[in-house]
A and B are shown apart, each in its own frame.
Chain A
Amino acid sequence: MPMDVPMVEVEGAGMVYGTGEAAVRALDGVDLAVRRGEMLALVGPSGSGKTTLLMILGCLLRPSAGEVRVDGAPVAGLAPAVLGALRLSRMGFIFQGYNLFPALTALENVQLALDLKGRDLDEGADLLHRVGLGARLNSYPRQLSGGEKQRVAVARALAGEPGIILADEPTAALDTANGLGVVELLHELAQAGRAVVVVTHDPRVAGLADRIVRIQDGRIAA
């Protein structure tokens, strides 16, 4: 893939929830391209459409209008199973509520993602070492602090070395020190050649981003 092709992009993306009088336009004519090595922060008030845009970029939501392309290829006609496979191979997700599997240890949470991607499970320990959790491999999520849980989530998102990392409010539940640690980690991932998109209200995240995109009433604000 040529270096100048965006890793993920939307063109004229619109999203309407509901129908008739109950219809709500969450996104309207958004054009956005995220390139390799770039950390992009999506900011804006609550309900502005940031998370909707993130879900569309992550192929979790089909837009009502416009086109989504991953590595330059449109995804509109792909079946749900193919979209799932695309997410699995090209994307890593980090959720506000961590979404770890409580019955699995930190290592097993990462190994589960590796297993899904057909990778060697031994890589799990390496990934957790990379995010500074080498000493907590066998801890369950309930035994970890919020910052540690989010680091496990980052390690899980990195399983299989996906090119695109999509994070939804990754520091919202963290204190200052832990939040900063996670933000720096995401920045490092972008510097290592990934495309990182972060939805955030956190000025620390925005401060480290290569580009800030402000969403207002479903549109990109000037």
Chain B
Amino acid sequence: MTGKRHWGMGMAGLLGWRNLAHDRSRFVVTLTGIVFAVVLFTMQVGLFLGFQDSTTTIIRHTGADLWVLGKGARNFEITLPIQERELYLVRSVPGVERAEPLIVQFVPWKKPGGGDESVIVVGFDLNSGLAGPWGLVAGDAAELRRPATVAIDTLFADKLGVPGAGEGKEATVEINGHRARIVAMTQGIRSFTTSPWVFTSLRTAFDLTGFNEDRSNYVIAKVAAGADVTAVRDSLRAILPRCDVYASEEFAAMTRDYWMFTTGAGASVLVSAVLGLLVGAVIVAQVLYATTVDHLAEFGTLRAMGAPSAFIYKVILGQAVISAVLGHVLGIAVSLLVAKGSEAGAAVILVPLPLAGSLFGVTLAMCVGASLVSIRKAMTIDPAMVFQR
């Protein structure tokens, strides 16, 4: 067989495409439905990923390889203090290059204009290079060496009642009954608990949290070059029976799982993502079913002419694939724009490219699945209907 093949689509593909695109307004409605569905579930999944990311943001940025904490803690934010002797024990283990205490504690923040907020003080050793703030956009982290100084994130400046902080305006605040000065501002350090992070030196953290100097929430450790993290972790577990010891990835996973799967907060985001997927699937099913039903008479003509079932499958599945490709490309483009816009907000929506790629499989499955419903309708048409109009 020779002859024009319509860009390799064959006549079935051409008919599928033309059925979709021929009626422009109908096509816009169909595409809008699919784009809406794609945006809906991409946003929900992106929100879930964003929340998930925010649960471990500090752990991932500390640069520590190992975490030592009180027995039984299940997340980063809430742990019981451990004693200073644990710090020295950690330092004594071969393979540990350095180990420092870390304080993480919820305390009240009195807003300059009145009212209180809960914040999480993160007190770290300025000389260790571990656990300091990142993404500085104003001020200088070195200023944290001065007593009673803190760094906060611009995302939470309004919430904490210091909207001008970091823009050359001196901001003095009251944290847990102690005065402190904001000397640096970060950008994009989010908190899953909605309590903003307040970074400060270990020395100031003792004052702000009321911790005794022989206590901390964590001992974080960096292993020496060439040392095996797992082996060092096991050595630490052996000599610290009153503590839990985790590699960073383990601790991040435990914290993430705790917030995302054992609390109502994470579960609700997860349920929203699943609902987004279901609602999207229903929307896609409806618009594609309507597209097929609009052309039932033509499928009847095809069947009367003697077109094999495979040809009709190709037409309808072709419509589904074309709809999926166009809907997904447009939907992801819109989602990326929304995700970009969310970067300035407290709740970030993450749409990494692998997610965008893998969600194409979801879009395709939704479109093809919806088409399978309409295929049954097309295949059960009585071909004699063409003579009965």
Contact = CB atoms under 8 A, between A and B. Distances in A.
A97 interface: yes
Nearest to A116: B307
B389 interface: yes
Contact of A112 (B15, B309, B383): B15
A87 B308 contact: no
A122 B3 contact: yes
A99 B306 contact: no
Given A84-B308, A96-B389, A102 B22 contact: yes
Interface in B297-344: 297-298, 301-309, 311
Given A61-B384, A121-B4, A93 B15 contact: no
Contacts of B305: 87-88, 93, 113, 116
A116 B311 contact: yes
Nearest to A55: B384
B309 A81 contact: yes
Contacts of B19: 103
A199 B15 CA distance: 30
Nearest to B17: A103
A11 interface: no
B362 interface: no
B11 A111 contact: yes
A104 B18 contact: yes
B11 A112 contact: yes
Contact of A93 (B4, B309, B386): B386
Nearest to B3: A121
A95 B14 CA distance: 23
A121 B4 CA distance: 6
Interface in A53-93: 54-55, 58, 60-61, 81, 83-89, 91, 93
B3 A120 contact: yes
B376 interface: no
B1 interface: yes
B306 A91 contact: yes
B304 A60 contact: yes
Contacts of B127: none
Contacts of A38: none
A84 to B, nearest CB: 4
Nearest to B303: A84
A95 B304 CA distance: 10
Nearest to A87: B306
Given A87-B306, A112-B11, A103 B387 contact: no
B4 A55 contact: no
B324 to A, nearest CB: 20
A55 B3 contact: no
Contact of A122 (B4, B14, B309, B386): B4
Contacts of A101: 15, 18, 298, 301
27 contacts: A58-B304, A60-B384, A60-B386, A81-B309, A88-B306, A88-B307, A88-B308, A95-B301, A95-B386, A101-B15, A102-B22, A103-B15, A103-B18, A103-B19, A108-B11, A111-B3, A111-B4, A112-B11, A112-B15, A113-B305, A114-B3, A116-B306, A116-B308, A116-B311, A119-B1, A122-B2, A122-B3
Interface of B: 1-5, 10-12, 14-15, 18-19, 21-22, 297-298, 301-309, 311, 383-384, 386-389
> What 9 pairs between A and B have smallest CB-CB spacing?
A88-B306, A121-B3, A103-B22, A103-B18, A87-B306, A115-B11, A84-B306, A99-B301, A60-B384
